[in-house]
Structure 1
C-alpha cells in the first residue's frame, strides 16, 4: 500500500484551477479573440480535466523537491491529455450547437497547443515555489514498535520525505527481538520515554506499528497519547494476511481491503482499453512492413505455416489463441509443451533471429486489437505451464485477473525467456503481481519505453 501525503492538496488544486483559467483566458484573449463566454468556458473545462488527471497521476501527493524530472514528465503528460480532452469536448459541443467551420477548430487546436506550453511552465513554477514553502519544515517522527510493519513504515516515510529534513526513531517496550531482520534496529527508549517526548513537544508524528493481536496495548497507547497534541497514526499490520493489498474500498462508512482484485475496474478499465486501442493501432501500422518481410523470410527459409497459434490463458483464466510468427519446425499446442532452450534443435535459423530480436511477437498486436491481450501485462504462458505452476507458485493465478501483455514488468527486469528453475518462475510471477498491484497509465508508458530501450534483445531471448 502506498503512503500519500495529502497535505495542502486542496490548496494546490485551487491554485491550479485559478492558474489554468487565468492563462487560458489571457492567452485566448490576447492571441485569439475578444473575451467571450466560450473562452471562459474552455478555461473551466480545461482546469477541471487538468485537476482530475493530476489526481490520477498523484501530482497532489508527496513532495516535489528532488523529484523534478519524474514530476515534470507526469505534468507534461497531464497538460497534454487535458488539452486533447478539452479540445474534443469543446469541438464536439461547438459543432453540434453552433456548427463552426473546420478552420475554427484548427485554430482552436493550435491555440490550445501553444497555451499548454505556458500552462506547463507556469504550473510547474507554482509547484516548485509552493513545495519550497509548504514542505520546508523538518519533521520529527517516532515509530512505536520494532516490527515488520514498523520497518515498512520507516522505508515508506524515507521514500516520501526523501528531500525533506526529518528524523525517525524507534521506541519499543520489549527488550528482545525474535526476527533477525529487526535485531539491528536501534531502540531509543520505551513507550514511557516516547510519551514524555510527546508531552514536551519534541515529536511531530507517532506511528504505532504493533501487531494486530496487541489490541489492548494499542488501545492503551492511544489513550495515553490522547493527552498530548502530537499527530498519532496507526499502522495496521494488514500484510500479515497477504502481501497483495492494493486498495481500500468504501461502502458507506464501512472500509474493505482488496486482496485479490483487478486494477482495471470502472475508469481503470476504460483507460486501459483506450491505451491498448490507440497504441495497438499505432504499433500495428508501424510494424506492418516488418511483419510482411518476416512472413516472406519464414516462407522462404522453412516449410510450414507463417503464423503459430497457441492456446493460452487470458483474462480471468479463459483460454485464448495467441499469435506468433513460427520459429520452430514443430507446432506444440498440447497438454505437454517443452519450453525453448538455448541452442534448441527445434528452432530454425531464421526463427532463432526472430526470437533473439523478439520479432516473433509482432502478430500479438492483432491480439491486442481483438481485445484478447494488452500492450503491457503479464506474459501469457502455455496452458500446460499454467497447470504445472499454479500448484507450485503461490498466488500464481492472480496474474490472470488482467489481460496478458506483449511486454511487462518482469520482462524489462530480465525475467524473460526460459524459466528452467522454479525460483525464476516465482520471481517472474512476483513482478507480475507487483505490476497488478501498482498499475497506472504512467507505469505502462514507462514499461513500453524501457522495452524499446532494453527489452527486445537480451541474453535470455532465445
Structure 2
C-alpha cells in the first residue's frame, strides 16, 4: 500500500501547473515587458505595507497556528498514519531567485516521497491534489487557505510580497520560462495575484492578468501601486471567505 502511495506522489497532477504561454495578444500589448532584463526594483509603499501587514498577520495568526498544531497532534494520536510535522517547505522561485516556500502539511506522511522531501523538491508533496491523501485537518486547512499562513514569514523576510504573481516550484518556474513567460522573473512572488483571485474559474492560469500587473507596476506611482494591491487583497479575501481553496 505504501509503495502505491509513492507512485501516486510521482505523478504530477494536472491542476499543479495551470499556467499558459503568453498569447499573441499579450506579446503585442506588452512588448516593453519582454524587453526587461533585470528584476524590477522594490517600491517603497508596497514594501512598507508588506512588512507591516506580514508582522500583524504573524501576530494574529499565532493562536490559529497553535490551535492547528493541537489539532494536528490530536489527529495524529487517534490516526497514527496522519501524524507528522505541521510545517514543511519546498524550493520555490521569487523574482528569479530560489527561496524556501513555507507551507502547512496537508497530506499524510506516507504520501510524501522521502528523498524528494530531503531535497525540498515540490514533486515530493504533489499528492496534495489527491483528496484521499489529505488528513482531516489538512482538508480544513486547504479549504480556507490556512496552509499559506507561514508565507507571511517569507513576506516579512523580503522573499515574497503580499501581492504579486504566485511563486512557483523550481520545476514549474523553469517550465513557465520555457513557455516564454517572464513575470515571475521580474517580480517577487505574492500571496495573492491578479490571476490568483480568479481561482476556481476558467480564467485561472490566464497569463494576461500577471502581465497587466507588471504593466501597472511600471506605470503607477508607489502609492498608486499600493491602491491596486489593496483592491487585489479585497478580491482575494472574498475568495478565502467563501472557502475557495481546493
Question: What is the TM-score when the length of structure 2 is the normalising length?
Answer: 0.70
Mapped partners of 2:164, 2:99: distance in 1: 15
User: Which residue of 2 is the match for residue 306 of structure 1?
Assistant: 86
Structure 1: which 4+ aligned runs deviate by more than 6 Å?
Answer: none
2:197 to 408, 412, 436: 412
| Map 1:328-367 → 2, pairs under 5 A | 328-329=107-108, 330-331=111-112, 332=117, 333-334=120-121, 336=123, 338=126, 340-341=128-129, 343-367=130-154
Verify the 8 A CA contact 1:280 1:369 in the aligned structure 2.
yes
Mapped partners of 1:240, 1:286: distance in 2: 40
Compare the two structures and name the one with the higher helix fraction.
2
Whether 1:368 aligns to 2:155 is yes
| Map 1:58-457 → 2, pairs under 5 A | 242-245=28-31, 259-260=35-36, 264-265=40-41, 269-301=43-75, 302-315=82-95, 317-329=96-108, 330-331=111-112, 332=117, 333-334=120-121, 336=123, 338=126, 340-341=128-129, 343-391=130-178, 393-395=179-181, 397-414=182-199, 425=205, 427=206, 429-439=207-217, 440-457=225-242
Verify the 8 A CA contact 1:276 1:374 in the aligned structure 2.
yes
**Cα distance, 1:441 vs structure 2:** 0.9
Aligned-partner SS, 2:168: coil
**Cα distance, 1:286 vs structure 2:** 1.8
Q: 1:243 to 1:291 in 2, by over 3 A?
A: same
Mapped partners of 2:61, 2:185: distance in 1: 27
**Pair member with larger Rg:** 1
**Cα distance, 1:401 vs structure 2:** 1.1
Verify the 8 A CA contact 1:312 1:383 in the aligned structure 2.
yes
**Cα distance, 1:282 vs structure 2:** 1.6
Mapped partners of 1:455, 1:286: distance in 2: 17
**Cα distance, 1:356 vs structure 2:** 0.6
Mapped partners of 1:409, 1:241: distance in 2: 18
Verify the 8 A CA contact 2:58 2:152 in the aligned structure 1.
yes
Verify the 8 A CA contact 2:92 2:98 in the aligned structure 1.
yes
**Cα distance, 1:335 vs structure 2:** 7.0
The alignment covers a number of residue pairs equal to 200
Higher RCO, 1 vs 2 (CA within 8 Å, ≥6 residues apart):
2
Mapped partners of 1:271, 1:445: distance in 2: 12
**Cα distance, 1:320 vs structure 2:** 0.5
Mapped partners of 1:263, 1:388: distance in 2: 19
**Cα distance, 1:318 vs structure 2:** 1.2
Question: What is the TM-score when the length of structure 1 is the normalising length?
Answer: 0.39
Unpaired runs of at least 5, structure 1:
1-238, 247-256
